[in-house]
């Protein structure tokens, strides 16, 4: 048997609230399946399974806030079955409990009516527990249901949920007739299920830990961006808006390629030291509406064609802002890239997100006088700032990393 526990979804997470089960006892699960939805300070996250087998039991109630590491479910592996348990329970001459304990091997199955003790009190899930809704408390609903309800202006409190524990699912919302929206309380959150004050506190705690524990060093370089801007303009000229590339895609791809060349910028640092990553999972900083920030990862970013990378970036932004990110996207990042966009500050010095060891900040592109040969000409430029962990690298490696980004942006057609 394997225990599926509350995962850690970042350095700033200590606990999460279980808001939806996507599985039930008897279901077969494989690695990567979404099995639950957990709400954290950064919104609702779809939790993926890292085990294969059959769901034996669900051991946590919907609506419960649980610390990282708390058992959520028990999964029976492919080589395990309950045949022995069923046979022992059916035998008429079955030995008494003391005799069974004296004669049976330590690993023998227990009778069906005597479940094995769990790390935390199990919940019998023959039918999902009913969640009693307190007055003024937001009803349990999946992230997709919340987004759809907001689009249709449907009050979730007016719906009956058919999901586990009475949770409101997407089909419950779509099956309902539009209803008047109740007056929102004066202190309502800017986004359903997202407590901005809690998010700010989580971000502050993670960044305080980072500055306290990680010896940061910073390098800044201004890069000629004119070749990239010209290539983007020509490439996008005949494309529809939904297919156009943005400078942010070039920044992410160039940074990912540089990270693949300078291994000291790509990986995690823990109690055992630095572990270089085999691929570049680029965390893309996404500003949430109403404030706050998340940095979900684009897996294998160094290998993605620009069009694919751009499409995945768009998808990440949409899902981040609607609360539909997956746990692996929140935990697998190996380096983070943050860009100000087309308008904003000229430069930014970011704080490393542990356990990563580097973060790259791109300022807004700005036209500056630039020397080319013996002439001065206006060119679009961007200022790039690397924040890196001095336990893993030094200025020489950092300068090599920035030079690799510069070189990649000079030949955008090769990205």
What is the pLDDT at residue 222? 98
What is the pLDDT at residue 264? 97
Residue 183 has pLDDT above 90, yes or no: no
189 pLDDT tier (thresholds 50, 70, 90): very low
Q: How many angstroms separate the CA atoms of 44 and 275, rounded?
A: 29
DSSP classification of residue 394: -
Cβ–Cβ under 8 Å, residues 306 and 250: yes
Across 25-34, 80-89, 151-160, 335-344, least confident range: 80-89
Residue 261 has pLDDT above 60, yes or no: yes
118 pLDDT tier (thresholds 50, 70, 90): very low
What is the pLDDT at residue 229? 97
What is the pLDDT at residue 92? 47
Mean pLDDT across 9-36: 85
What is the pLDDT at residue 96? 45
Share the mean pLDDT of the chain: 81
Mean pLDDT across 102-108: 44
CA distances from residue 43 to 152, 159, 228, 353 in whole angstroms, order as listed: 21, 22, 35, 18
- Closest by CA to 235, choosing from 305, 337, 298, 338, is 305
Q: What sign does the CA torsion over 406, 408, 411, 412 have?
A: negative
Residue 337 has pLDDT above 90, yes or no: yes
Q: How many angstroms separate the CA atoms of 5 and 66, rounded?
A: 10
Percentage of the chain lying above the pLDDT 70 cut = 76
What is the pLDDT at residue 247? 96
Give the residue extent of every domain in the chain.
2-103, 211-414
What is the pLDDT at residue 178? 52
- 3-state SS string for 163-192: CHHHCECHHHHHCCCCCCCCCCCCCCCCEC
Question: Class for domain 2-103, per CATH?
Answer: mainly beta
What is the pLDDT at residue 164? 55
What is the pLDDT at residue 324? 81
Domain 211-414 falls in which CATH fold?
Chloramphenicol Acetyltransferase (3.30.559)
- 3-state SS string for 320-373: HHHCCEEHHHHHCCCEEEEECCCCCCCCCCCCCCCCECEEEEECCCEEEEEEEC
- Closest by CA to 360, choosing from 320, 408, 304, is 408
- Whether the bond into 122 is cis, omega within 30 of 0: no
pLDDT in tens, 53-89: 899 999 999 988 988 889 999 998 887 765 434 443 4
What is the pLDDT at residue 40? 80
Measured N-to-C along each axis, helices 247-261 and 226-236 cross at an angle, to the nearest 10 degrees, of 130
DSSP classification of residue 131: P
CA distances from residue 77 to 4, 54, 116, 350, 393 in whole angstroms, order as listed: 12, 7, 16, 43, 42
Q: What is the pTM of this model?
A: 0.67
pLDDT in tens, 293-313: 899 999 999 999 999 999 999
389 pLDDT tier (thresholds 50, 70, 90): very high
What is the pLDDT at residue 291? 74
What is the pLDDT at residue 136? 44
Helix (H) / strand (E) containing 77 = none
Helix (H) / strand (E) containing 53 = strand 53-58
What is the pLDDT at residue 85? 40
Name the residue with higher pLDDT: 194 or 98: 194
């Amino acid at each position: 048997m394997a225990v599926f526990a509350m995962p850690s979804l970042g350095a700033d997470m200590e606990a999460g609230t279980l808001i939806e089960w996507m599985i039930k006892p008897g279901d077969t699960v494989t690695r990567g399946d979404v099995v639950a939805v957990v709400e954290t300070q950064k919104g609702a996250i779809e939790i993926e399974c890292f085990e294969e087998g059959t769901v034996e039991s669900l051991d946590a109630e919907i609506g419960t806030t649980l610390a990282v590491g708390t058992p959520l479910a028990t999964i029976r592996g492919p080589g395990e079955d309950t045949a022995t348990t069923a046979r022992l329970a059916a035998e008429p001459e079955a030995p008494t409990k003391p005799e069974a304990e004296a004669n049976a091997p330590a690993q023998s199955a227990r009778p069906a009516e005597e479940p094995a003790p769990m790390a935390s009190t199990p919940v019998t899930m023959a039918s999902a527990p009913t969640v009693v809704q307190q007055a003024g408390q937001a009803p349990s609903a999946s992230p997709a249901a919340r987004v759809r309800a907001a689009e249709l202006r449907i009050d979730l409190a007016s719906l009956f949920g058919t999901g586990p524990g009475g949770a409101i699912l997407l089909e419950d919302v779509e099956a309902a007739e539009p209803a008047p929206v109740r007056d929102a309380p004066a202190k309502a959150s800017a986004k359903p299920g997202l407590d901005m004050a809690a998010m700010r506190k989580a971000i502050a705690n993670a960044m305080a830990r980072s500055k306290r524990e990680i010896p940061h060093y910073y390098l800044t370089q201004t890069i000629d961006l004119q070749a990239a801007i010209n290539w983007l303009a020509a490439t996008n000229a005949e494309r529809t808006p939904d297919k156009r590339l943005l400078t942010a895609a070039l920044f992410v791809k160039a940074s990912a390629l540089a990270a693949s060349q300078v291994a000291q910028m790509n990986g995690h640092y823990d109690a055992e030291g630095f572990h270089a990553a085999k691929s570049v999972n680029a965390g893309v900083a996404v500003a949430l509406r109403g404030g706050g920030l998340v940095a979900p990862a684009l897996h294998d970013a160094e290998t993605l064609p620009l069009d694919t990378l751009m499409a995945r970036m768009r998808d990440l932004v949409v899902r981040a802002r609607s609360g539909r990110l997956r746990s692996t996207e929140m935990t697998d990042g190996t380096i983070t890239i943050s860009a100000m966009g087309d308008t904003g500050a000229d430069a930014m010095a970011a704080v490393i997100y542990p356990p990563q060891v580097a973060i790259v900040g791109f300022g807004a592109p700005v036209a500056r006088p630039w020397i080319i040969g013996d002439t001065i000409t206006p060119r679009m430029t961007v200022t790039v700032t690397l924040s890196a962990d001095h336990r893993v690298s030094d200025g020489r490696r950092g300068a090599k990393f920035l030079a690799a980004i510069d070189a990649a942006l000079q030949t955008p057609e090769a990205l």
